[in-house]
Amino acid sequence: MGRWAIAVHGGAGIDPNLPAERQEQAKQLLTRCLNLGIAALSSNVSAIDVVELVVRELETDPLFNSGRGSALTEKGTVEMEASIMDGTKRRCGAVSGITTVKNPISLARLVMDKSPHSYLAFSGAEDFARKQGVDIVDNEYFVTDDNVGMLKLAKEANSILFDYRIPPMGCAGAAATDSPIVMNGLPISIYAPETVGCVVVDKEGRCAAGTSTGGLMNKMMGRIGDSPLIGAGTYASELCGVSCTGEGEAIIRSTLARDVSAVMEYKGLGLQEAVDYVIKHRLDEGFAGLIAVSNKGEVVCGFNSNGMFRGCATEDGYMEVAMWE
């Protein structure tokens, strides 16, 4: 029997001036989700079940950018995406373009367990959801007043998010000139609310990972980011489980989540070394973060952005919830 470990994230890139009240709300939500996962793992629930359970909780709370509280498209609607992966046999499921499914992570799980495919999107995914009997709600359920206000600011700044770049510190260059309005430390023209994710290794050494998001604020209809892409935003193998967050296009180009597992397998690196390596060498000029667990019960968080909402816990009693370095 091994040792279990769990990590959760609520997105990379945090405004240093984020109000204390929101910081506290984020910490409370991450703590609640960790405790939910800890209780399940202590009762010998499998890694893949714990990942789904925790991400569902994150999707249900409107604080972060997934499920209710998702970022809005250019038309003011919500298009969500999610993926989940079981490292034992590298089974996976993913969905995109979800508009009425209350918990996209559970639909991704059903794609993995109940379909012959690994990825379903838009109307096909919605049709599958109805056949599976999942909870369906109106699109308005996912829309919050906060995000309506953010979208209004984005449109006033005439930002369409064709090119998504997160500056290392504050607002700089043309982006700041074109869009002086700042949201969460980023020019509104490139604002992306926080994605969520969870990684787990259970007592049997089985690793799993899941990621869920609403994507970019004011994104083009049909835009797909890294979160539903296996190997980019989410990956799990016999060695580790990884969930990423941050600049989606950079994560896609670097196949960031898969690369953690790859350098462990091919270079013989440990989990901490692998995470440090990919964050340093694979993101080029992009900014992102990730959480990871190994089959040995290790847990690591890494990022090159200005902070990352995160929490982790291990069977030996270690628990941490943090935002900054």
109 is in an annotated binding site: no
List, in sequence order, every beta strand (DSSP E) within the chain. Answer: 5-12, 80-86, 91-98, 119-121, 182-183, 186-187, 196-201, 207-213, 234-236, 240-246, 288-294, 299-303, 308-314, 319-322
210 is in an annotated binding site: no
Report the half-sphere exposure of 84 (CA within 13 A, side-chain side). 25
C-alpha dist (Å) from residue 206 to 49, 91, 118, 230 = 11, 12, 20, 18
223 is in an annotated binding site: yes
- Rg (Cα) of the chain, in Å, rounded? 18
Cα angle 288, 293, 312 (rounded to 5 degrees) comes to: 75
247 is in an annotated binding site: yes
Cα angle 157, 163, 164 (rounded to 5 degrees) comes to: 85
Residue 11 burial (CB count, 10 A):
25
248 is in an annotated binding site: yes
246 is in an annotated binding site: yes
- 195 catalytically annotated: yes
Separation between Cα atoms, residue 131 and residue 168, nearest integer Å: 45
225 is in an annotated binding site: yes
Choosing from 73, 88, 195, 213, the catalytic residue is: 195
197 is in an annotated binding site: no
Residues making up the binding site: 223-226, 245-248
Residues belonging to the active site? 195
Binding site for substrate: residue ranges? 223-226, 245-248
